[in-house]
Amino acid sequence: MTDLTDLTVCSALKKLKAKEISPVELTNAYIEKATTGQKYNAYVYIDEKQALEKARESENHYLNGTNRALEGIPLGIKDLFCTKGMQTTACSRILGKFTPPYESTVTQNLLNSGALFLGKLNMDEFAMGGSNETSCFGTVVNPWSKAIPLVAGGSSGGSAAAVAAKMCAAATGTDTGGSIREPSAFCGVTGIKPTYGRCSRYGIIAFASSLDQAGPICKDVADCALLLNNMAGYDAKDSTSSKKEVPDFCSFIGQDIKGLKVGIPNEYRSDGLNTEVAKYWDTAAEMLKSAGADIVNISLPHTKYALPAYYVIAPAEASSNLARYDGVRYGVRVDGNGLDELYINTRTAGFGKEVKRRILIGTYVLSAGYYDAYYLKAQKVRRLIKNDFDEAFKQCDIILTPTSPIEPFAIGDKKMAENPINMYLNDIFTVSVNLAGLPAMSLPIGLSSNGLPLGMQLIGRAFDEGTIFKTAYQLEQCAKFVRM
Amino acid sequence: MAVDNETVRKVAFLSRLRVEPEKLEETKQEFNKILSWVEELNEVDTDNVKPLVSVNDESLTMREDVVNAGQMSEAILQNAPAQEFGYFVVPKVVE
Amino acid sequence: MAEYIIETPKGKWEVICGLEIHCQIISKSKIFSGASTEFGDDVNENVSFVDAGMPGMLPTLNMECVHQAIKTGLGLNAIINKYSEFSRKNYFYADLPQGYQITQFQYPIVGEGFIDIDLEDGSSKRIRIERMHIEQDAGKSIHDLDPHKSFIDLNRAGVGLMEIVTKPDFRSPEEAGAFLRKLRSIVRYLGTCDGNMDEGAMRCDVNVSVRPYGSDELRTRCEMKNVNSVKFVMQAIEAETRRHIETYESGGEICQETRQFDPLTSSTKAMRKKEFAQDYRYFPEPDLPPLVLDDAFINKIKEEMIELPDAKKSRFINKLGLTSYDAMVICENKEVADFFEKAAEGHDAKKIANWLMGDFFAMLNRKNLTIADSPVSAENLGKLVELISKDVISGKIAKDVFEIMADTSEDPEKIVEERGLKQVTDTSAIESIIDTVLTANPDNVASYKAGKGNLIGWFVGQVMKQSQGKANPGLVNKLLKEKLDQ
């Protein structure tokens, strides 16, 4: 018998509708994988009982013919999404066993579409990290690891690993500087960060509000389109969510890309670029060309400054967003003599090293006397970066770049551990997109000589995820990447 | 702009985080490493560039003045580390 | 205007003072959440997940708060900024759930304006407004329930506030007091804030510095936070001025700090200092895009603007002939002004004003009632004055009628009719009483005729008594004189 967890969401739905399989069977298959896959440490919380209850409800919907778009599809949810009655911690000690009395809009949308949640997925603490090593629940192990355990990427490392190891049909992720795309690339799965404002941020624990966006991580491009259809939309509860109409992303799957102009930014051929990655980049361009697209060289002159700008803006916003974790209304509390001491004790014990580092930097760049030199400067550079893209999109319809300059590295890698900036540099191809608020997808293109997955990134115009979906689907067809 | 130990102590207090005295030097060095890296931004000419505050060009939507939340103190307090008589409780604040 | 100069044996000083006033916005729901703004509900019941700073919660702006702010801005004769931004002011406190306050910093919704204040000597002065912005209120910490704990109630957290910042234009406590009363009157007229300082709906921070009289230097200022009555604001300015002068004159220096005014001792004291100075780290609120208003939105509010105290006052002076003082007192409170206008409609406005500020207010005070609950309606007060004007009743009888109105809420015409209080203006009826009185008192008539002219008063009294006060006193006087002088 075929393994039900091999099915993509789209193909599973076909079988569910045809009543060839039942939601309970599908859910049980994923629960089985989630249990045997514990070595990957992708889940931080599994709610089997609740998942199976929901699966039985879905079964009724199929029997009654009231089945919805994602009826009975078992998903994993990044632990950054507040899920009503289900523990939500952002993988930080400071939240303790926080159980939200409310549901995030994105997960509510998914529930309304009939999806069910197997549990919560591991991530870097408060989504700050690129290797999932900052989680208070321990590091996620990349399912592609060979002899030594490799990182799954971050911050949505649990989501990417769980999808790769078939521990859920698809997962939610969030992306502030590459947190959907980098782990997707490292784990050989497909993930899209939609345009800023496409998905509501209501109920998603905030890292950097002006950069955070939710998106799906899936087995393939078509699943991403379907998932995003059921996540996106205007939400009055998020003042930054967009009122622009959400098209049916699935309708772009299979559309041809003849005459589409694909931009290749010169500035992305940086020193740190792995030669194999560079080679695959050329290959991907060739593939798109063979599918009818035109390749054009473009320039994004301020690329070099995206990371420094990001590492001013994101920590600044984070320092403020994380002020609410003070041990008063929820989460853990470490008592002290007086209020300030309670705050200091709680926050010092509750936050991990990387989070504390970013809070300190963020506090500093906003403080009196330094605001103009750092924060304001970074916001100005941010505009220049956005202008770069505006200019580039006058010459092309979509931009192709690698997702990460490197392949997955070892957990505890010395070079990464000794200097945080080395870790930050891994986001070099992804952060500009967040600064400019654009949509971008990572999809697997092939394996390195070490047998590890490498990803390509497609960047679209604001609110033009459609072009990404049709281009990514064509590239996927050419690349013929074999999932785990 | 290199920071000194005193600045690190001040920033730590503003953040309500403790930097142990023996970690002060190390924290300062790491701080300066990151700051000198982000100071690459100074290479960019940003004269006459408006800071980007919001990537969306949509202006703020306002909501109608309707009471549609509240009357749920139980849910508000359910995760509280300390509560009494419906209040959140903290150590005595001395003004 | 009388200058406020502080003279000491060592020299003359003047005070430089500016105010920052927080006004709670009248709206049904909070500025960034859908929880009620109701005051006095059970602990933590008017709290949404947003107000409690729960993870992942986001603010949404209440249109009514923007509307109220613009209305107030127009009332302050101020510029309304079509582009404004929200910012975060970051600091830790137990009743500040998010760890920051959403406020406006660089781009407030209301720009420069002014208010004209009226001073006791009849002069007026223009106080310039620097800006006004909108922001959220904090919750409440209760410190006196337990020796070791403080209790936090978030019902007030997130209620909308307007913060009005004046230029340092005040040169005396009196000016600051007059300003606060005027501001309170304006926001109450507009219905944008109820203005109650003792309930905290209006709170005042006071900035004070002094300088040698006649100089234009700017010395270090101190701020006194949350002074909660007009009287205390005036006292705080006085106390702080005194402290600055004493410090300078004894060779000391004033350091910039936040102080607290203690009404019991009428003095200010420095607040406890932390090791590091406060640093609010303002930055644009990333959860709220800039607020961009169009002309239509602002113009609609302009059309809704009602007549404000100043305009009303000058109309009452110019069109209705009130004295400047009467007009000022009547216009301070919109309900009083409205009551007055209704009562004065078609009647003698000056007389109505006299009644209002005399017997009417005295009656409300005595009965401990507000004008809204007055047993005497505006129409009835108007009718009463009309009865006097038309000589239907005398001023003296009118006072009795008014007391009956105050007890029964009845129409004065009905009271006069039913109780037969109509003034007797019938000459023959009065003459017959006069004849009776004169016949009964031949001795006094003789004395009068012999030259004791002041007995006329006694005769008038007798006639009035016999007529049970209903005879028209003027007529009585005239007829008596005619008869006696025959």
Nearest to A380 among B46, B54, B56 (CB): B46
**In angstroms, rounded to a whole number, what is the distance separating the alpha carbons of residues A177 and C458?**
102
Whether C291 and C85 have beta carbons less than 8 Å apart is answered as: yes
- Residue A278: phi and psi, rounded to 5, are -60, -40
**Which residues from chain B sit within 8 angstroms of residue A305, using beta carbons?**
40-41, 43-44
**DSSP string across C319-336:** TT---HHHHHHHHHSHHH
- Residue A324, chain B, CB below 8 Å: the answer is no
- Residue B61, chain A, CB below 8 Å: the answer is yes
Q: What is the mean pLDDT of residues A241-266?
A: 97
**Which residues from chain B sit within 8 angstroms of residue A348, using beta carbons?**
17-18
- C211 min Cα distance to partner chain B (Å): 31
Contact criterion met (CB < 8 Å) for C289 and B56: yes
- Summary mean pLDDT of chain C: 94
**In angstroms, rounded to a whole number, what is the distance separating the alpha carbons of residues A45 and A47?**
7
Contact criterion met (CB < 8 Å) for C94 and A237: no
Whether A229 and A249 have beta carbons less than 8 Å apart is answered as: yes
Nearest to B64 among C52, C63, C85 (CB): C63
At residue B74, the pLDDT reads 97
Nearest to B10 among C34, C49, C276 (CB): C276
- C6 min Cα distance to partner chain A (Å): 37
Which residue from B minimizes the CA distance to C26?
B65
Contact criterion met (CB < 8 Å) for B34 and A420: yes
Query: Please, where in chain C does CATH 1.10.10.410 lie?
Result: 427-484
- A114 min Cα distance to partner chain C (Å): 23
Architecture of the structural domain at C427-484: Orthogonal Bundle (1.10)
Whether A190 and A165 have beta carbons less than 8 Å apart is answered as: no
Which residue from A minimizes the CA distance to B50?
A380
Q: What is the mean pLDDT of residues C127-141?
A: 97
B interface mutation test: which of A329, A356, A371, A387 has the most B CBs within 10 A?
A: A329
Say whether A345 sits in a helix, a strand or coil: helix
Q: What is the pLDDT of residues A73-119, one digit of tens each?
A: 999 999 999 999 999 999 999 999 999 999 999 999 999 999 999 99
Q: What is the pLDDT of residues C87-121, one digit of tens each?
A: 999 999 999 999 999 999 999 999 999 999 999 88
Query: Looking at chain A, which subunits does it touch, using at least 3 CB pairs closer than 8 Å as the criterion?
Result: B, C
Q: What is the pLDDT of residues C180-202, one digit of tens each?
A: 999 999 999 999 999 999 999 99
- A241 min Cα distance to partner chain B (Å): 9
Q: What is the pLDDT of residues A37-77, one digit of tens each?
A: 999 999 999 999 999 999 999 999 999 999 999 999 999 99
Q: What is the CA radius of gyration of chain B?
A: 23
Query: Looking at chain B, which subunits does it touch, using at least 3 CB pairs closer than 8 Å as the criterion?
Result: A, C
- Residue B66, chain A, CB below 8 Å: the answer is no
At residue C421, the pLDDT reads 85
Q: How many CB pairs under 8 A join A and B?
A: 158
Q: What is the pLDDT of residues A379-430, one digit of tens each?
A: 999 999 999 999 999 999 999 999 999 999 999 999 998 999 999 999 999 9
Q: H helices then E strands: how many in chain B?
A: 3, 3
- A71 min Cα distance to partner chain B (Å): 30
Nearest to C61 among B63, B71, B85 (CB): B63
Domain ranges of chain B: 5-36
**In angstroms, rounded to a whole number, what is the distance separating the alpha carbons of residues A80 and A223?**
21
The answer on pLDDT for C1 being more than 60 is: no
- Which residues of A belong to the active site? 78, 155, 179
**In angstroms, rounded to a whole number, what is the distance separating the alpha carbons of residues A469 and B6?**
52
Contact criterion met (CB < 8 Å) for A328 and C94: yes
Q: What is the pLDDT of residues A290-334, one digit of tens each?
A: 999 999 999 999 999 999 999 999 999 999 999 999 999 999 999
Nearest to B41 among A367, A378, A383 (CB): A378
CA A350 vs CA A90, A93, A342, B28, C319: distances in Å = 12, 5, 12, 21, 71
What is the topology classification, in CATH, of domain A4-257?
Amidase signature (AS) enzymes (3.90.1300)
Query: Looking at chain C, which subunits does it touch, using at least 3 CB pairs closer than 8 Å as the criterion?
Result: A, B
At residue A188, the pLDDT reads 98
Which residue from B minimizes the CA distance to A98?
B79
- Summary mean pLDDT of chain B: 94
Which residues contact residue A65 at a Cβ distance below 8 angstroms, ignoring those fewer than 6 apart?
none
Q: What is the mean pLDDT of residues A357-384?
A: 97
Model confidence at C454, pLDDT cuts 50, 70, 90, reads confident
**In angstroms, rounded to a whole number, what is the distance separating the alpha carbons of residues A97 and A90?**
11
At residue B94, the pLDDT reads 73
- Residue B68, chain A, CB below 8 Å: the answer is no
At residue C282, the pLDDT reads 98
Domain ranges of chain A: 4-257
| CA dihedral over A243, A247, A249, A252, signed as positive or negative | negative
Which residue from B minimizes the CA distance to C62?
B63
At residue A1, the pLDDT reads 53
Nearest to A373 among B1, B27, B30 (CB): B1
Residue with the larger pLDDT of the pair A120 and C40: A120
At residue A361, the pLDDT reads 97
Q: What is the pLDDT of residues C287-337, one digit of tens each?
A: 999 999 999 999 999 999 999 999 999 999 999 999 999 999 999 999 999
The answer on pLDDT for A230 being more than 60 is: yes
The answer on pLDDT for C2 being more than 80 is: no
**Which residues from chain B sit within 8 angstroms of residue A376, using beta carbons?**
51
Nearest to C43 among B56, B70, B87 (CB): B87
Which residue from B minimizes the CA distance to A348?
B17
- Residue C27, chain B, CB below 8 Å: the answer is yes
ipTM over 0.90: yes
Whether A333 and A327 have beta carbons less than 8 Å apart is answered as: yes
The answer on pLDDT for B70 being more than 60 is: yes
The answer on pLDDT for C234 being more than 80 is: yes
C interface mutation test: which of B67, B72, B79 has the most C CBs within 10 A?
A: B67
Contact criterion met (CB < 8 Å) for B79 and A302: no
Torsion-angle region of A19 (φ positive above 0: left; ψ -120 to 50: alpha; else: beta):
left
- Residue A274, chain C, CB below 8 Å: the answer is no
Contact criterion met (CB < 8 Å) for C44 and B56: no
At residue C179, the pLDDT reads 97
Which residues 256-275 of C are in CB contact (within 8 Å) with B? 260, 271-272, 274-275
The answer on pLDDT for A362 being more than 70 is: yes
Model confidence at C10, pLDDT cuts 50, 70, 90, reads very high
C interface mutation test: which of B18, B56, B62, B68 has the most C CBs within 10 A?
A: B62
Whether A469 and A460 have beta carbons less than 8 Å apart is answered as: no
Tokens 């919750």 map to which residue? C139
Which residues contact residue A89 at a Cβ distance below 8 angstroms, ignoring those fewer than 6 apart?
A44, A79, A95, A96, A97, A98, A120, A136
Whether A466 and A252 have beta carbons less than 8 Å apart is answered as: yes
At residue B95, the pLDDT reads 59
